Amino acid sequence: EAGVAQSPRYKIIEKRQSVAFWCNPISGHATLYWYQQILGQGPKLLIQFQNNGVVDDSQLPKDRFSAERLKGVDSTLKIQPAKLEDSAVYLCASSLVRQGRETQYFGPGTRLLVL
């Protein structure tokens, strides 16, 4: 079974530029998550999708971050404009629910450096 795919793996941009990340979840997983992992910390949820609808975006800095999952499969996360403090690893995860119990599976992440 293929895992969660993400691209690019690395991105270096200057502050105030824009950047986009792509995620392809595990086939059949209805729920998709974007997390931000700052160095030395655990992942923090940015946004959660159920199929193509947003379930929770309460932690997403909406003035600069946006995300979409138009067809309920792939998703993109965009930052515009980027700030220095956005330097982090952006993780995508998808989840499988069995008997009401959910397990999340993570992609390799995109490491973003904002200069």
- Give residue 55's identity as a one-letter amino acid code: V
66 touches another protein by CB under 8 A: no
25 touches another protein by CB under 8 A: no
53 touches another protein by CB under 8 A: no
CB of 35 to another protein, least distance (A): 8
54 touches another protein by CB under 8 A: no
How far is it, in rounded angstroms, from Cα 36 to Cα 29? 20
Give the CA angle between residues 86, 91, 92 to the nearest 5°.
Answer: 130
SS3 per-residue string spanning the chain: CCCCEEECCEEEECCCCCEEEEEECCCCCCEEEEEEECCCCCCEEEEEEECCEEEECCCCCCCCEEEECCCCCCEEEEECCCCHHHCEEEEEEEEEEECCEEEEEECCCEEEEEC
> Between residues 22 and 106, which has the closer beta carbon with respect to another protein?
106
36 touches another protein by CB under 8 A: no
30 touches another protein by CB under 8 A: no
103 touches another protein by CB under 8 A: yes
Identify which range of 14-22, 64-72, 73-81, 101-109 contacts another protein by CB under 8 A: 101-109
Contact footprint for another protein (CB under 8 A):
3, 33, 40-45, 48, 55-56, 91, 93, 95, 101-109
